[in-house]
Amino acid sequence: MPTNYWAYSEVDSLVLTSGHYFSNLWKDCLSDSTGVTDCKDFPSLLALQTYIHLCRSLVITSIILGFFGSILALVGMKCTKLGGSETINARVTFAAGMNYLLSGLCGMFAYSWYGHKVISEFMDPNYRAKKFELGSALFIGWGGSALLVVGGFVYSITAGKEACQSSAKTEEMSYHSAPSNLSEPNQKTYSPSLSPIPNRANQKSSKPPKGSHAVDAYV
């Protein structure tokens, strides 16, 4: 976005001097062979053409989405452990991939529209104003947008597969562990068996009443 050469035009005015006209989304500049450069910002915001406003909004949106995508990508990394479980990290990484993908698409649309406008004016024989050619900023933007789109696809596909696999494993583990926690109504309860040997400590000693004879002694 801060690159000046979105569109440029070179005009030979004299034998020893030449003028270079270049512009971007914010200003028009003029530079000669002596090294003197004069830039002028667009005087009115409302007087600008529609494609300038749209390209500005798309490029700014692309930068914001890419910034949030970078933050989500750092949070969703496995080595950070900031997201929590592997499933949550995979979902955060998937969101980062979607941000990267949308950022690349917004940038690609903005640079393509600006480039189409420059090419259509250059190829139009009835266009009488100064004609410009494609500048270096457009090629840099196309390359960066392509990398964002490819990176967003890679993030989204890999993180989406990992999130689906981890969620499936979690459901399977919870399904297998659920019956062990339920109480079985048919489970038998075992009570300790009674010992055949009487506990003489708890038995009360029975003494024969007075006046009775111990017959067992004689037996």
Q: What is the pLDDT along the chain (219 residues), one digit of tens a residue?
A: 778 888 888 765 555 566 788 888 888 888 877 777 888 888 888 878 888 999 999 999 999 999 999 998 888 877 776 656 777 888 888 899 999 999 999 999 999 999 999 999 888 888 887 888 888 899 999 999 999 999 999 988 888 887 676 655 555 555 555 554 444 444 444 445 554 555 554 554 455 555 544 444 443
Q: Is 6 helix (H, G, I), strand (E, B) or coil?
A: coil
pLDDT at 218: 43
pLDDT at 8: 84
> Going along 131-179, which residue ranges are E strands?
133-134
pLDDT at 54: 92
pLDDT at 188: 46
pLDDT at 82: 67
What are 173's two structure tokens? 């583990």
pLDDT at 16: 53
At a CB cut-off of 8 Å and minimum separation 6, what does 135 contact? 3, 4, 5, 6, 7, 8, 22, 24
Question: The sheet that has 133-134: what strands, in order across it?
Answer: 37-41, 27-32, 19-23, 7-11, 133-134
Give the Cα separation of 110 and 57 in Å (integer): 9
